[in-house]
Amino acid sequence: MQFDDLLTEQRNHRSTHIDRESTLEMVATINREDHRVARAVQKELPQIAAAIDAAYPKFDQGGRLIYIGAGTSGRLGVIDATELQPTYGLTAEQTFGLIAGGADALTHTVQSAEDSPELAHDDLAAVNLTAQDVVVASAASGQTPYTLAALDYAQKQGALGIGFSCIEGSPLAELADYPITPVVGPEIITGATLLKAGTAEKMVLNMLSTGIMVKSGKVYQNLMINVVPTNGKTFERAKKIIAEATQTSMIAAERALDRAGNNVPLAIVLIETKGTIAEAKSLLAATGGHVSQAVKLNDDQQ
């Protein structure tokens, strides 16, 4: 299929008069199109869930979550990876994004980088990609050479390949182990895939990464428990998380955090199970650090 024939490049008949609309009418038009994005993503929920279920065991066992793409698609991947680090207490080695053209491409257009399969090979070879890793490759058109080559390289290394695109049956969708393809239709401004396609990608990446983190034990109830208390602000946040998770006082949370050596998950298990430090550590070790599973295991043993 020629690039100009792609659905993402066609004109949207619902926005052909946007240049003559009032400001309120204009934003209403954009908002109506955004509603279509949510419905398109909703249709992909089974595939998103399947991708999470395939990805989290690899991540949980030490694999890395790697995003790759060009232009807007690549930038959104870098953003998702970067935000995961402080949110879930991850290192830059556990999750990161690669973008065609490198760091300069985050703030500037790097001409021709997205057309280079060789650059994709070099970028993934440089990070020593392994079969334990998960690669999320994103391209609205589903046919960007850099992104296609990256996904092909990843699968040749045995890595799990998740492919995001907005075109059904695209080369990227055909190549991915888990294709996620919300068909958002023509853009409000013709060909501007930073709009609906970008919104769809952000929604999908949020679901993927949140799901992988939850399934990997980085969340207890709906609280992010891997905060590392390194200063007054994060120490107070850690105490609040413990208190809310265990329905106890801030004083009790502080005592547990102190006993646990500033380890938030350990402090939560300590309170929830009413056991000793050694017992709480044993429960976490037996469940791979999953607080929910550790608490359940303790309950089952009672």
Note the pLDDT tens digit of each residue in 16-47. Answer: 999 999 999 999 999 999 999 999 999 999 99
Supply the CATH number for residue 280's domain: 1.10.8.1080
Helices marked H in the chain — which ranges? 23-42, 45-60, 71-88, 117-126, 145-156, 171-175, 196-215, 232-246, 250-259, 264-273, 277-286, 291-301
Distance (Å, rounded) from C-alpha 256 to C-alpha 269?
10
Task: Tell me the backbone φ, ψ of residue 137, rounded to 5 degrees.
Answer: -100, 130
Examine the domain organization and report whether 200 and 274 are in the same domain.
no
Give the residue among 138, 252, 112, 274 at the shortest CA–CA distance from 197.
138
**Do residues 182 and 200 touch, judged by C-beta distance below 8 A?**
yes
Instruction: Report pLDDT digits (tens) over 237-282.
Output: 999 999 999 999 999 999 999 999 999 999 999 999 998 999 999 9
What residue numbers bound the domain in which 249 lies?
Answer: 219-301
Examine the domain organization and report whether 167 and 18 are in the same domain.
yes
The end-to-end CA distance of the chain, in Å, is 62
Judge whether residue 145 has pLDDT over 80.
yes
Distance (Å, rounded) from C-alpha 148 to C-alpha 138?
9
Residue 178, SS3 per DSSP = strand
Residue 66, SS3 per DSSP = strand
Looking up tokens 């390194």 gives 230
**Do residues 223 and 213 touch, judged by C-beta distance below 8 A?**
no
If one counts the domains in the chain, the total is 2
Tokens representing 51 are 């991708």
Examine the domain organization and report whether 19 and 47 are in the same domain.
yes
pTM above 0.85, yes or no: yes
Angstrom distances, CA of residue 201 to CA of 140, 156, 243:
8, 25, 35
Position 276 scores a pLDDT of 93
Judge whether residue 11 has pLDDT over 80.
yes
**Most distant CA pair in the chain: distance in Å?**
70
Examine the domain organization and report whether 57 and 193 are in the same domain.
yes
Q: Bridge partners of 69?
A: 99, 138
Q: Which of 189, 215, 241 is the last residue of a domain?
A: 215
Examine the domain organization and report whether 129 and 224 are in the same domain.
no
Average pLDDT over residues 104-116: 85
Amino acid at 237: R
Instruction: Report pLDDT digits (tens) over 197-213.
Output: 999 999 999 999 999 99
Looking up tokens 């960007």 gives 144
Examine the domain organization and report whether 114 and 263 are in the same domain.
no
The catalytic residues are 83, 114
**Do residues 173 and 179 touch, judged by C-beta distance below 8 A?**
yes
Supply the CATH number for residue 86's domain: 3.40.50.10490
Examine the domain organization and report whether 148 and 239 are in the same domain.
no
Amino acid at 235: F
Banded model confidence at residue 169, pLDDT cuts 50, 70, 90: very high
Distance (Å, rounded) from C-alpha 150 to C-alpha 136?
10
Task: Tell me the backbone φ, ψ of residue 22, rounded to 5 degrees.
Answer: -70, 165
Banded model confidence at residue 2, pLDDT cuts 50, 70, 90: low
The residue that leads in pLDDT, 254 or 230, is 254
Tokens representing 210 are 């949140």
Q: Which of 155, 182, 215 is the last residue of a domain?
A: 215
**Do residues 247 and 236 touch, judged by C-beta distance below 8 A?**
no
Averaged pLDDT of the chain: 93
Q: What percent of the chain has pLDDT over 70?
A: 98
Examine the domain organization and report whether 19 and 160 are in the same domain.
yes
Distance (Å, rounded) from C-alpha 266 to C-alpha 39?
40
Position 32 scores a pLDDT of 96
